[in-house]
Each structure stands twice: as structure tokens, then as C-alpha cells.
Amino acid sequence: MEVIKVGMADLKTIKAPGVLTTLGLGSCVGIALYDKYNKVAGLAHIMLPSSKEIKNNENKAKFADTGIKLLIEKMIDEGAFKKNLIAKITGGSQMFSFNNNKNILKIGERNVLATKEELKKLNIKIISEDTGGNYGRTIELNAEDGSLLVKTIGHGTKVI
């Protein structure tokens, strides 16, 4: 079975049988989209909430807003229908904690919020999520059934 790795600020699609995986997700968010009728899966690994906040925004896969749109386009190219798509989201941890409220440390939380907003705007339902906390996650999205395996170090393994 084909396994494709999705790096940081990257996105990939796959048709069954196959698995998309992203390793060591921290404050970034992993957005898994799935069309169960056509068995097309897509995974984006975004780093920042919005492409509008900064100048250097050529890499669309880096941002929640542009990344999700691009992922949907690619999935449609692979034979998915937008109306069939459901979403599962993971990541958005806060790896280090301080008492102050510096924005940069809350980036995980902001990434999750921006992801939810964008999905809502696009009318894609989030059916499950495993976000927040202060630990990393490795995820595997199976194109056969859309299951998303979440592995951690010291915080268990689950399928969402």
C-alpha cells in the first residue's frame, strides 16, 4: 500500500488504497479531508492561520485559509466531490508554556481557530478532532475508510 508523507507547509492527496501521514505535528494543524463515496483523501499540514497577515505568502500550503482551498481543488482533480467532504483536524499544541501572553506561543490555538473558521466558510463539517494539549502527534489518514490514527509519545494512540 502506498504511504505518502506530508511535510511541514505541504499538502497531498491520495486514492484508496493508500495512506497519507504527517510526522511530529506540533503547533501546526493537520487537516484531513475525506470523500467516502469516491475514497479520496487529502491531508494538509498548515503552519500559520492566515495568508493575509504576512507578505511572504507564495506557499499556499503554509496557511489555513489558502491551504484548505488548495487541498479541496486537488481532491476534486482526483475525483472527489466537494459536497461529500468531511474533515478531521489534529494538532495545534502549545509546546512551551510561559506566564505571559505572547501571541506566538498561542499560535497552535490560533491555527485551530482559523482552520475551523475556514472549514465553516466552505461548508465542510468537522466530524472529529484531537487538538490542543502540549504534546506532538503523528497522524495517518487511511484513504480506504477515512480513519485517522493519532499517535503520541506518552499520551496514547487513538483513531478519530
What stretch of H or E contains 22?
A: strand 18-25
The least distance separating other proteins from the CB of residue 64, rounded to whole angstroms, comes to: 12
- The residues binding other proteins (CB under 8 A) are 7-10, 23-28, 47-48, 53-54, 56, 59, 62, 93, 95-98, 100, 102, 104, 107, 134-138, 153
Question: What are the two backbone dihedrals, phi and then psi, of residue 75, each rounded to the nearest 5 degrees?
Answer: -70, -35
Q: Shortest approach of other proteins to residue 44 CB, angstroms? A: 14
List the 125-131 sheet strands across, edge first: 10-15, 40-46, 29-35, 86-91, 125-131
Active site annotation includes 155: no
| Distance in Å, CB of 132 to other proteins, minimum | 13
Pick the catalytic residue: 28, 47, 87, 143?
28
Closer to other proteins by Cβ: residue 23 or 149: 23
The three cell numbers of residue 106 are: 498561542
Q: What DSSP assignment string belongs to 102-145?
A: -GGGGHHHHHHHHHHHHHHHTT-EEEEEEE-SSS-EEEEEETTT
Q: 83 vs 154, which CB is nearer to other proteins?
A: 154
What is the closest distance, in whole angstroms, from the C-beta atom of residue 77 to other proteins in the complex?
A: 24
Task: Find the DSSP H helices in 1-159.
Answer: 64-77, 107-121
- Give the residue with the Cβ less far from other proteins, 39 or 137: 137
Minimum CB distance to other proteins smaller for 57 or for 84: 57
The amino acid at residue 120 is K
> Which residues form the catalytic set?
28
